[in-house]
Structure 1
Amino acid sequence: MRISTSMMFERSQNAMQGRQSDLSKVGEQVANGKRIVSPSDDPRAASQSLIVKQDQAVQEQYKNSRVTATSTLSLQENTLNSVSDLLVSAKGLIVKAGNGTYTDSDRASVATELEGLYNQMLGLANTKDSSGQYMFAGSKGDVMPFNKGADGAVEAYAGDTQPLNIKVDASRDMNVNAAGSEAFSVPATKSGDAESTLFRVFETAIDSLRKPQTAENQNELRATLDQVNRQIDSGSDNVLKVRSSIGSKLNELDVLGDIGDTRSISNKVAISDLEDLDYAEAISRYTLGQIGLEASQKMFMQTQQTSLFSLIR
């Protein structure tokens, strides 16, 4: 087969352009610090990298969900811790009010102190979270869970007990709802005291302490205070139980966070292995590419000069 001048010219030009393209690609890799600038550079690695990046995005979503869950549960735990402290103070007042030497005025003073704690507890039960939602209202975050009626007593719980699940990991949906009806309830006691609420217990104690004492109602007052004492203990145990459940969830979130961080690091390492550039190898290829391009350019110039007239000369 005869190789024409035009064919030699075309081949030389193609070789030079190929060298220029290769050199440009290496230069782009060096500039970006990435071995894969476009999927065509390494389709298999690009596909694997995409899968890992998708998993990384999902892990980031789980991480954000864990942050939200931790914030919500921590606020609940801190609030209920304050309720526990308040109940300790209330029990001390009830014990003090049972002193047989106390006058009606002394008991009324204790009732006033107890009412202050009662109002503090109501404020804690109606605490809002960082997004402005009532924390103990369940899924009815825009509804105040505990309201005072016209008679000054706290009405029935206005929230609900519907679970508020947050997906904190691939196989874990965590309920972050500490319903007020559960957190502020008083379970029935072994002594036969009926189930009640902390608000009702406080109201009973306050009303009893404000009644003038007579010979006829002395035993009634003592029995009421004894009952209130038992119910405060029952309510305290219940608050502690709710706090323990919240604490277990916070511990679980810590564990899931550690696992998630480890997986995130592994994903970053995998992406780096698939995509990041070996600068030493790339610079070596760039240098060889420059040499090859210069050789192609010289060959192209020589091809241009190859003709019958140059041979005659």
Structure 2
Amino acid sequence: MRISTSMMFERSQNAMQGRQSDLSKVGEQVANGKRIVSPSDDPRAASQALIVKQDQAVQEQYKDSRVTANNTLSLQENTLNSMSDLLTSAKGLIIKGGNGTYTDSDRASVATELEGLYNQMLGLANTRDSSGQYMFSGSQGDVKPFETSADGTVEAYAGDTQPLNMQVDASRSMNVNAAGSEVFKVPATKGGDAESDLFKVFEKAIETLKTPQTAENQDELRADLDQANRRIDSGSDNILSVRSAIGSKLNELEVLGDIGDTRTISNKIALSDLEDLDYAEAISRYTLGQIGLEASQKMFMQTQQTSLFSLIR
């Protein structure tokens, strides 16, 4: 086949442009620090990298959910820890108020202290989280769980008991809400006391302490205070049980967080293997590319100067 001058010119030009394109691609890889600048550089690796990135994005979502769940549960745990301390103080006051040597004035003074704890308990029960939602309203965070009536007593629980689930891992959905009706309830006691709630227990104890003591009602008042103590013990045990459940969830979140961190590290290593550039190898290719480009440019220049007339002397 006859090779014309124009064909030689075109081939030399294509060779030079190809070298320029290869050199430009290597330069772009070095500048970005990535072996895959566009999917066409390595379609298989680019596809695998996309899968890893998608999994990494999902893991980040789970991580955010775990952080939110941890913050919510930690606040609940701290609040209930305060409740436990409050109930311990309340029991001490009720025992003190049952002292047979106390006068009505002394008992009234104890009742005033107990009222202070009662108001503190109501404040804890209506605690809001960092987003302004009521913590003990179940899934209805915008509803105040415990309102007071005109006579100062606490009305019935206004929230719900629906779970508020958060997806904290691929196969784990965790309920992070707390229904005040369950948290502040007083289970039936072994002494035969019916189920109640802590607000009613406090209200009854305060009323008892404010009632003037006589020879006729002395035994009844003492029995009422004994019952208040039993119910406070039952309520304390219930709160301890709730705190235990919260603690188990916090421990689980910590384990899931460690697993998630391991996945994140594995994904980063996988992405690095797929995408990161071997600088030594890339610079070597860049140097060879420069040599090849210079050679192709020289050949192109020689081709431009080649003609039939240049051979005639």
TM-score normalised per structure 1: 1.00
Tell me the residue number matched to 2:47.
47
Displacement after TM superposition at 1:56 (Å): 0.1
Please tell me the root mean square deviation across aligned C-alpha atoms, in Å.
0.5
Displacement after TM superposition at 1:150 (Å): 1.2
Partner Cα distance (1:96, 1:34) in 2: 75
Tell me the residue number matched to 1:150.
150
Displacement after TM superposition at 1:267 (Å): 0.1
Tell me the residue number matched to 2:18.
18
3-state SS of 2:26 partner: helix
Tell me the residue number matched to 1:262.
262
User: How many residue pairs align between the two structures?
Assistant: 313
Aligned pair 1:120/2:120, yes or no?
Answer: yes
Aligned pair 1:222/2:237, yes or no?
Answer: no
Partner Cα distance (1:107, 1:59) in 2: 59
Displacement after TM superposition at 1:139 (Å): 1.3
Displacement after TM superposition at 1:203 (Å): 0.2
Displacement after TM superposition at 1:80 (Å): 0.3
Q: Which residue identity lines up with residue 35 of structure 1 in the other structure?
A: R
Tell me the residue number matched to 1:301.
301
3-state SS of 1:282 partner: helix
* Correspondences of 1:203-214 after superposition (within 5 Å): 203-214=203-214
Tell me the residue number matched to 1:186.
186
Partner Cα distance (1:96, 1:212) in 2: 16
Partner Cα distance (2:112, 2:184) in 1: 21
Tell me the residue number matched to 1:82.
82
Partner Cα distance (1:287, 1:310) in 2: 34
**CA displacement, residues 106-131 of structure 1 (integer Å, 9 cap, x when unaligned):** 00000000000000000000000000
Deviates further, 119-128 or 145-154? 145-154
Partner Cα distance (1:18, 1:5) in 2: 20
Tell me the residue number matched to 2:99.
99
Partner Cα distance (2:213, 2:96) in 1: 16
3-state SS of 2:167 partner: strand
Q: Which residue identity lines up with residue 192 of structure 1 in the other structure?
A: G
Tell me the residue number matched to 2:247.
247
Tell me the residue number matched to 2:200.
200
Displacement after TM superposition at 1:9 (Å): 0.4
Partner Cα distance (1:143, 1:262) in 2: 39
Displacement after TM superposition at 1:152 (Å): 1.2
* Identity %, equivalent residues: 87
Partner Cα distance (1:308, 1:155) in 2: 109
**CA displacement, residues 41-74 of structure 1 (integer Å, 9 cap, x when unaligned):** 0000000000000000000000000000000000
Aligned pair 1:67/2:74, yes or no?
Answer: no
Partner Cα distance (2:252, 2:141) in 1: 25
3-state SS of 2:168 partner: strand
Tell me the residue number matched to 1:292.
292
Partner Cα distance (2:88, 2:260) in 1: 40
Displacement after TM superposition at 1:143 (Å): 1.0
Displacement after TM superposition at 1:225 (Å): 0.5
Partner Cα distance (1:225, 1:89) in 2: 15
3-state SS of 2:173 partner: strand
Partner Cα distance (1:214, 1:224) in 2: 14
| Consecutive aligned runs of 4 or more in structure 1 exceeding 4 Å deviation | none
* Correspondences of 1:266-277 after superposition (within 5 Å): 266-277=266-277
Displacement after TM superposition at 1:87 (Å): 0.2
Aligned pair 1:232/2:261, yes or no?
Answer: no
Aligned pair 1:110/2:115, yes or no?
Answer: no
Partner Cα distance (1:86, 1:152) in 2: 20
Structure 2, unmatched stretches of 5+, are none
Q: Which residue identity lines up with residue 144 of structure 1 in the other structure?
A: K
**CA displacement, residues 225-254 of structure 1 (integer Å, 9 cap, x when unaligned):** 110000000000000000000000000000
Structure 1, unmatched stretches of 5+, are none
TM-score normalised per structure 2: 1.00
Displacement after TM superposition at 1:178 (Å): 1.2
Aligned pair 1:30/2:43, yes or no?
Answer: no
Partner Cα distance (2:4, 2:221) in 1: 121
Partner Cα distance (2:234, 2:60) in 1: 42
3-state SS of 2:153 partner: coil
Displacement after TM superposition at 1:75 (Å): 0.2
Tell me the residue number matched to 2:3.
3
